[in-house]
């Protein structure tokens, strides 16, 4: 009974990662918060003979026939597009930022993100390529400005898109998501791609130092092995051909910013290292009760993942 209740709590309150996420709707720094949330639309397409679904948030009105930048947000394991839309609050910025936000659903409980443990034959790369095509053909999206963000399992899937579909996307952000070891061994992007990583040193699910991802009967998740957060940062820096790197502590908060610059084709790689942080969306406003903190650690409010990813993507045309 205790296991059943605990798992029910996870699915109800903190679903959205391999185990449990506390994600929140946090206003972007320096952006007004009084605009109306855009209306969501359910859409679907067929991949491998299966219907795959996704939510689309489009601005109520756009200037003339201008094409819109596309932001695709990938949920964590056991999650859904609807859930991560509510948890991140990124749909709040569709109208005022003039972008198209899309929240796809994985074919099962996990994205096929490059781990052996999630390789179930479902072609999620083809699905997300299809979502991009639909966004440009049916929703007014700009194929030259496609940005992918993901959390946990979704963050690993975002990195797989950077490895396997760099021709179709502009930049990626991965939150509490190291690169799967199996994917790291074969990742060869067709071009340098800007990458921002946000990781926590005390994450009990996604190990900062690499190794096996936590999984249990209560937590669920697919397990598998990842390289460390710093190895993930260094790998992307190497793949992007960066030749300058540095690290700086942010003022008065326990966060370090690792950066690799002077990369090929104007790319950049950034890692925000949250000292003591847990497995969640930084700046989230969902309550963190004792059970949630015990499972996922303490999710920081010192920085806003929303603010950071929008700021990062704006450099590349969002």
Q: What's the CATH number of domain 2-24+33-314, 3.40.50.1820, 3.30.479.30, 3.65.10.10, 3.10.180.10?
A: 3.40.50.1820
- Which structure tokens are listed for 119? 């390789």
- Which structure tokens are listed for 245? 């790197």
Q: Where are the domains of the chain?
A: 2-24+33-314
| DSSP 3-state percent helix, strand, coil across the chain (nearest 5) | 30, 25, 45
* Helix (H) / strand (E) containing 237: helix 229-239
d(CA 183, CA 188): 10
pLDDT at 14: 38
pLDDT at 293: 78
d(CA 45, CA 58): 18
With vertex at residue 139, the alpha carbon angle to CA 134 and CA 142, rounded to the nearest 5 degrees, is 80
- Give the CA diameter of the chain: 57
**Which candidate, 191, 146, 190, places its Cα nearest to that of 169?**
146
pLDDT at 299: 82
Of the CA atoms within 13 Å of residue 309, those in its CB half-sphere come to 28
Residue 196 bridge partners (DSSP): 173, 270
d(CA 154, CA 292): 20
pLDDT at 283: 81
254, 300, 291, 209 alpha-carbon torsion, rounded to 10°:
-60
pLDDT tens for each residue of the chain, 318 residues long: 323 223 333 333 333 333 333 333 233 333 334 445 678 999 999 999 999 999 999 998 655 568 999 999 999 999 999 999 988 889 988 988 899 999 999 988 999 999 999 999 999 999 999 999 999 999 999 999 999 999 999 999 999 999 999 999 999 999 999 999 999 999 999 999 999 999 999 999 999 999 999 876 666 788 999 999 999 999 999 999 999 899 999 999 999 999 999 999 999 999 999 999 899 889 865 657 787 777 887 888 899 999 999 999 999 999
d(CA 196, CA 149): 9
DSSP letters for 126-183? HHHHHHHHHHHHHS-EEEEEEEEEEETHHHHHHHHHHHH-TTT-SEEEEES-PPBHHH
Burial class (CB in 10 A: 0-12, 13-18, 19+), 60: exposed
Residue 74 bridge partners (DSSP): 150
């Amino acid at each position: 009974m205790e296991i059943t209740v605990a798992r029910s709590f996870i699915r109800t309150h903190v679903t959205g990662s391999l185990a449990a996420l506390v994600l929140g709707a946090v206003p972007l720094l320096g952006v007004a918060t009084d605009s109306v949330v855009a209306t969501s639309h359910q859409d679907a397409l067929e991949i491998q003979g299966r219907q795959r679904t996704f939510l689309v948030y489009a601005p109520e009105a756009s200037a003339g026939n201008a094409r819109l930048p596309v932001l695709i947000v990938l949920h964590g394991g056991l999650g859904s597009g609807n859930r991560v839309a509510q948890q991140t609050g990124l749909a709040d910025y569709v109208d005022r930022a003039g972008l198209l936000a899309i929240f796809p659903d994985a074919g099962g409980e996990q994205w096929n993100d490059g781990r052996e443990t999630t390789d179930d034959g479902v072609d999620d790369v083809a699905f997300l390529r299809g979502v991009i095509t639909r966004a440009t053909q049916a929703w007014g999206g700009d194929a030259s400005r496609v940005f992918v963000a993901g959390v946990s399992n979704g963050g690993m899937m975002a990195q797989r898109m950077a490895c396997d579909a760099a021709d179709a996307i502009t930049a990626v952000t991965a939150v509490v998501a190291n690169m799967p070891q199996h994917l790291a061994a074969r990742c060869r992007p067709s071009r340098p791609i800007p990458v921002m990583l946000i990781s926590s040193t005390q994450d009990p699910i996604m190990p900062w130092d690499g190794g096996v991802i936590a999984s249990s009967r209560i937590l669920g998740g697919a397990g598998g092995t990842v390289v460390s957060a710093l190895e993930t940062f260094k790998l992307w820096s190497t793949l992007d051909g960066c030749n300058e790197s540095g690290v700086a502590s942010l003022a008065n908060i326990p966060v370090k910013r690792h950066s690799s610059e002077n990369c090929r084709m104007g790319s950049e790689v950034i890692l925000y290292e949250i000292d003591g942080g847990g497995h969640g969306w930084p700046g989230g406003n969902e309550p963190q009760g004792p059970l949630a903190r015990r499972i996922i650690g303490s999710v920081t409010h010192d920085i806003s993942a929303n603010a950071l990813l929008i700021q990062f993507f704006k450099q590349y045309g969002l």
